[in-house]
A and B are shown apart, each in its own frame.
Chain A
């Protein structure tokens, strides 16, 4: 059954060395949980960005908590480059697994269907095939004779994301953000933070059920008000552009990053 726990307890479900899947900015990024996760002293994470990330990945990288990252990009969007990611790549601080967005979705889909790999269109001719020896180009075994790329299944140990609400049974509203279901289907455990727990059963009406991830796929839920801040959460709140710009400026130096991180963790504790 889905457990409803405190934020700190939810963060403690992630253990060192695990692979952790996180969604794209704006989809429902669990920033409060990321602060709590940093407080646990987590290390050696194998981060999987679905299919890209921004400040969340940059914080985990800057704090030295990741061993590898699989992603199609890390960027702060309008605020520019992700400074700790950029510096970390140059220093070889972690193993870089460059990807392309639909290949990450294809890997998750393979895990969702319980098959070892998934074929995917395009990609041929890209140097990504040279730096990803786990991707193969095969002769299509069916249909017209042609080459096709196959990518291995991606089964993250843990998926972590944030949405507006869950009900007491652990059903989570994901709206049209179906990529959150893709994360949950493929992952061994799914941890979700929410703005609020609602009393009604989200599966009761046809209208709400269509946009709900059933509790079957959800292991732990914690309430975190403003849990995506400073990133946006759907129509609940916009991104705090000024805060993200402040991060982008401070994280340019190692010292600036340390100062930002310390203030970020303190702020989260005060909110909680």
Chain B
């Protein structure tokens, strides 16, 4: 993983793999890598004759079919029509809870982030929520978040939604809803399991043998560097341009 472009390509291809089997994925604002992952899945399914995938990219005209205003994504999720979504967090804890509000004492938090967006609601309703946060550090991955924007597990009420996986610049974790915690699935080259231990502030399960996250194959790379970055340019022109220039 020698360059920034290769780092991003591995994340995009991993996201497409994580989405395999879904019918409809929605992507929130300011999320070029998740959007590219969703587009890659759609293109790949189309090329190998697998069932078509719908994608809804917030902020896009061409890759968004909603006609009922801002509430439609939320209604759609409540109806069970959104299979996958992405959430991040200024802090994410070992129980899968996320904090998009800030650190320190609310409301005059010492560090303030934009706010909870739709997380408190969508986490309950979308079955395959992928937690995506590029920075992998102990200040992000904490034992306990300072503010719970959205809670991963709420045994007191029935829910179909919650975390499915956590993807970072360094590794991919699965989330076990029974155990209520993460387990390390794979580490992106050139990092090692020791790097992950050092940079993760919460406890997680680690298998005896930790796999390396697979690099995208030649066919995937060709698709990515052609069609996908072209499609992405409508919503994320600067990101798509950087990726195409590097290729």
Contact = CB atoms under 8 A, between A and B. Distances in A.
Interface of A: 23-24, 26-27, 50-52, 71-75, 77-78, 81-82, 85-86, 89-92, 96, 98-103, 105, 109, 120-128, 131, 146-147, 176-182, 235, 241
Nearest to B72: A178
Interface in B23-65: 29-30, 59, 61
Residue with the greatest number of chain A CB neighbours at <10 A, chosen from B72, B118, B123, B158: B118
B238 interface: yes
Contacts of A77: 29-30
Contact of A127 (B61, B72, B148): B148
Contacts of B148: 125-127
B115 to A, nearest CB: 3
A102 B29 contact: no
A120 B108 contact: no
Contacts of B113: 81
10 contacts: A52-B114, A71-B115, A100-B121, A102-B71, A121-B121, A126-B148, A128-B116, A128-B120, A178-B67, A178-B68
Given A124-B151, A126-B120, A176-B66, 12 more contacts: A24-B70, A74-B115, A75-B115, A90-B112, A100-B116, A101-B74, A120-B121, A122-B120, A128-B149, A131-B106, A176-B69, A180-B69
Given A146-B158, A147-B156, A89 B102 contact: yes
Nearest to B150: A126
Residue with the greatest number of chain A CB neighbours at <10 A, chosen from B59, B120, B161: B120
A186 B147 CA distance: 31
A55 B148 CA distance: 26
Given A26-B59, A89-B112, A176-B66, A72 B157 contact: no
Interface of B: 29-30, 59, 61, 66-72, 74, 78, 100-102, 106-110, 112-125, 147-151, 153-154, 156-159, 161, 238
B69 A86 contact: no
A81 B114 contact: yes
B74 A124 contact: no
Contacts of A102: 71, 74, 118, 121
A181 B67 CA distance: 13
Contact of B118 (A96, A100, A146): A100
Nearest to B148: A127
B157 A98 contact: no
A99 B154 CA distance: 19
Contacts of B121: 100-103, 120-123
Residue with the greatest number of chain A CB neighbours at <10 A, chosen from B109, B148, B157: B157
B144 to A, nearest CB: 12
A123 B108 contact: no
B175 to A, nearest CB: 15
Contact of A100 (B72, B117, B161): B117
A131 B151 contact: no
B117 A121 contact: no
